[in-house]
Structure 1
């Protein structure tokens, strides 16, 4: 079963450009890791200091393997200064069966 990891944090403005560049490099590196399916970087629309990362792995075991990788250690080095309110959540996807009618809001 796939697992999605959500990481949310705030970043002080003096370090924002450096960390953003590092995150883009990290995304490319993580996407090359075995069984990483997706890596998305989001920033707050009204708050450019808010970052939310989503990455999806083929299995929890693949995610656990990544936790011990050099890529993660490089990722941690990006956050030495200026990161606050770091939250990391492991999420399991739940799907609605296709036989359930979909209601669209107007």
Structure 2
């Protein structure tokens, strides 16, 4: 195997790993929002969730799609917003504390 082939295979492996991580974050975001809604807890601004999902799905990105770092960043920010909304509800006494297994 020459160096060009090894470089292409390595780049493809890194791109596949980044895509797998982004998909895992998307699944976690959807499950977190669904769990919060089922429990009757605040899910934060609706546009944050849908904006993150659309940014991941649409082909228009800040970085080309083989590089999923921007998609991962947007999904992490959306997850952080959901957790922040839950934390604010807990501080205000509006939300019960979920057991660790139900929040993940």
Structure 2 length-normalised TM: 0.32
- Higher relative strand content: 1
Instruction: Determine which structure has greater relative contact order: mean sequence separation of CA pairs < 8 Å that are 6+ residues apart, divided by chain length.
Output: 1
Which of 1 and 2 has greater Rg?
A: 2
Structure 1 length-normalised TM: 0.31
